[in-house]
A and B are shown apart, each in its own frame.
Chain A
Amino acid sequence: ETGVTQTPRHLVMGMTNKKSLKCEQHLGHNAMYWYKQSAKKPLELMFVYSLEERVENNSVPSRFSPECPNSSHLFLHLHTLQPEDSALYLCASSQGYGGNQPQHFGDGTRLSIL
Chain B
Amino acid sequence: GQQVMQIPQYQHVQEGEDFTTYCNSSTTLSNIQWYKQRPGGHPVFLIQLVKSGEVKKQKRLTFQFGEAKKNSSLHITATQTTDVGTYFCAGLSGTYKYIFGTGTRLKVLA
Query: Using a CB–CB distance below 8 Å, which chain A residues touch chain B?
Result: 2, 41-43, 45, 48, 55-56, 90, 92, 97-100, 102-108
Contact = CB atoms under 8 A, between A and B. Distances in A.
B97 interface: yes
Chain B interface size band reads: 20 to 34
Contacts of A107: 41-42
Main secondary structure of the interface of A (DSSP, over half): loop
B97 A43 contact: no
B4 interface: yes
B106 interface: no
Contacts, number: 48
B96 A103 contact: no
B97 A98 contact: yes
Given A42-B4, A43-B43, A104-B45, A97 B96 contact: yes
Contacts of A99: 92, 96
Given A43-B90, A100-B48, 14 more contacts: A41-B102, A42-B88, A42-B99, A43-B88, A45-B99, A48-B97, A55-B96, A56-B97, A90-B42, A100-B50, A103-B98, A104-B45, A105-B43, A107-B42
